[in-house]
Amino acid sequence: MSSKVEKLVPVPERVEADLDELARIHDPESEGWTRTVFSETYRASREWMRSRMVDAGLQVHPDGAGNLVGVLPGCDPAAPALITGSHTDTVEGGGRFDGIVGVLGALEAVRQLIEHDVRLERDLLVVDFLGEESNEFGLSCLGSRALAGELSAADLYRRDHRGTRLGDRYTAFGLDPSDVLTASGWARTRALHRYVELHVEQGPLLEERDVPIGVVTAIAGIERMLATFTGRPDHAGTMPMGDRRDALVAAAEAVLTVRQEGCGAPVHGVATTSRLVSEPGSPNVVPGTVRMQAEMRSVDVDWLSAAQRRLTEEIRLKAGAYGVDVDVEWSCDNECRPTHPAVHEVISSAADSLGVAWEPVPSGATHDAVHIARLCPMGMIFVPSRGGRSHCPEEWSDLSHIATGVQVLGRTLVELDRTPG
Ligand SMILES: [Zn+2]
């Protein structure tokens, strides 16, 4: 390892100053550090982000899909480029670190490369992907999805609760929907070499194990369930208990069955019921219909599909005992995406060479990396989240851990730059 590369040590105070400055740009009307996609706050934050990219020494090219792409030119512009980044939008009531650490951390890594005169062979692209968090249109990772060619024309017709189409939101944000759909063009013609994303863990594993770095093994697949329970509405005062077909009681059993399935998962698996809507909802009527929304996530594909089948059967069986029919529909939000072994290997050996302890960890949350994996081999670096908290104002990662993450990111980029292929 050259002595120049040894000097790539991030300056924590610079990352901290950037984190603080970006955190100031949040929606004053909302809880926490809210900066949701397409909002005026988000627009302002991205103006700031663009100027930070320029200050760090990047040439900034916004693409048609609303991603901010900062380029650090390498010696060989024809070589497939390295790509890193994450997102700077938040959920409503979100925190200051989710996604943000990956973009601001990458900027510090770039500053280190420039200051210590470490010239990469390949171009390095630092991307702030548009709207990673799931939005009112029920679609996450807008920018990375578009780059990977996974955003369809039909998606632009999705409507939010006010009836506004996604395509119209793009237009109001100053983006042409047809450019959004063709944005994958540049990513395909540009040829990408490897993608690595630095992110906060958003779970408790690293803190529990007292390890500063997680090397992600796989990003969990997400299967969403919509179940409709059809019983019979009856007078709540006169229908005897044994003669009822109470849809809500059947759904309540199903909630517990979902939980039980999640608790029985090996490796990493979780199952959550997030919504029950009971009708008619009158105090004196036995519930006749219930709609239930649940999801299961795991990095174990076999468990996920077996658990889906078990759950469907068990929910039907238990509901049948109450005289309630169930219609269960599943849809896959994200397929489980393992990280690429070659990138995993480079990240872990970068941590080893820096003397930094690491552990392999699964990711229960989804990330832009899922989509960029369609374009090139992908890997992720995690830093600990205090108490495993995320998507809340209390979300916190220690600066020392973030700095370690940035250092591992920098070393990983240098090593990936030298990897052939
Ligand atoms: Zn994120």
Q: What's the pLDDT tens digit per position in 380-403?
A: 999 999 999 999 999 999 999 999
For 35, 74, 197, 282, 414, the CA distances from 118, given in Å and listed in that order, are: 35, 10, 20, 69, 9
Which helix (DSSP H) or strand (DSSP E) does residue 44 occupy?
helix 40-56
User: Quick one: average pLDDT of 327-340?
Assistant: 91
Residue 132 C-alpha to ligand 1 middle, in angstroms?
Answer: 7
Residue 367 C-alpha to ligand 1 middle, in angstroms?
Answer: 6
Contact by Cβ (8 Å): 173, 66? yes
User: Quick one: average pLDDT of 303-321?
Assistant: 96
How many other CB atoms are found less than 10 A from the CB of residue 312? 16
Q: What's the mean per-residue pLDDT of the chain?
A: 95
| Sign of the torsion angle spanned by Cα atoms 360, 338, 183, 171 | negative
How many other CB atoms are found less than 10 A from the CB of residue 374? 17
- Domain definitions of the chain by residue range: 3-219+336-418, 221-334
The percent of residues above 70 in pLDDT, for the chain, comes to 100
- Provide the pLDDT for residue 74: 97
Tokens of 162: 């006010």
Residue 107 C-alpha to ligand 1 middle, in angstroms?
Answer: 17
Tokens of 3: 């002595």
pLDDT at 106 over 90: yes
Percent composition of the chain: helix, strand, coil (DSSP 3-state, to 5): 40, 25, 35
Tokens of 321: 């005992």
Residue 262 C-alpha to ligand 1 middle, in angstroms?
Answer: 23
The domain made up of 3-219+336-418 is a member of CATH 2.60.40.3880? no
- Provide the pLDDT for residue 265: 86
Which helix (DSSP H) or strand (DSSP E) does residue 279 occupy?
strand 269-279
Distance CA 372, CA 312 (A): 32
Residue 4 C-alpha to ligand 1 middle, in angstroms?
Answer: 32
Please write the tens of the pLDDT for every residue from 48-75: 999 999 999 999 987 999 999 999 999 9
User: Quick one: average pLDDT of 310-338?
Assistant: 94
Tell how far CA 319 is from the center of its chain.
34
Helices (H), 338-398: 341-353, 369-372
Tokens of 309: 């089948």
Instruction: Please report which confidence band the pLDDT of residue 1 belongs to, taking 50, 70 and 90 as the band edges.
Output: low
Instruction: Please report which confidence band the pLDDT of residue 324 belongs to, taking 50, 70 and 90 as the band edges.
Output: very high
pLDDT at 186 over 70: yes
Secondary-structure class of domain 221-334 per CATH: alpha beta
Q: List residues, by chain if needed, whose CB lies under 5 Å from ion ligand 1.
A: 98-99
Residue 311 C-alpha to ligand 1 middle, in angstroms?
Answer: 29
Categorise residue 312: left if φ over 0, alpha if ψ from -120 to 50, beta otherwise: alpha
DSSP code at position 149: T
- Provide the pLDDT for residue 318: 98
Backbone φ and ψ for 124, nearest 5 degrees, come out as -110, 125
pLDDT at 20 over 90: yes
pLDDT at 311 over 70: yes
Residue 352 C-alpha to ligand 1 middle, in angstroms?
Answer: 26
pLDDT at 84 over 70: yes
Please write the tens of the pLDDT for every residue from 86-102: 999 999 999 999 999 99
Strands in 133-268 per DSSP E: 192-200, 213-219, 221-230
Q: What is the C-alpha end-to-end distance of the chain, expressed in Å?
A: 21
Contact by Cβ (8 Å): 56, 49? no
Supply the Cα-derived Rg of the chain in whole angstroms.
Answer: 23
Residue 223 C-alpha to ligand 1 middle, in angstroms?
Answer: 19
Instruction: Please report which confidence band the pLDDT of residue 333 belongs to, taking 50, 70 and 90 as the band edges.
Output: confident
Please write the tens of the pLDDT for every residue from 245-258: 999 999 999 999 99
Please write the tens of the pLDDT for every residue from 137-175: 878 999 999 999 999 999 999 988 888 999 999 999 999
Distance CA 415, CA 373 (A): 19
- Provide the pLDDT for residue 355: 97
Tokens of 373: 């994996």
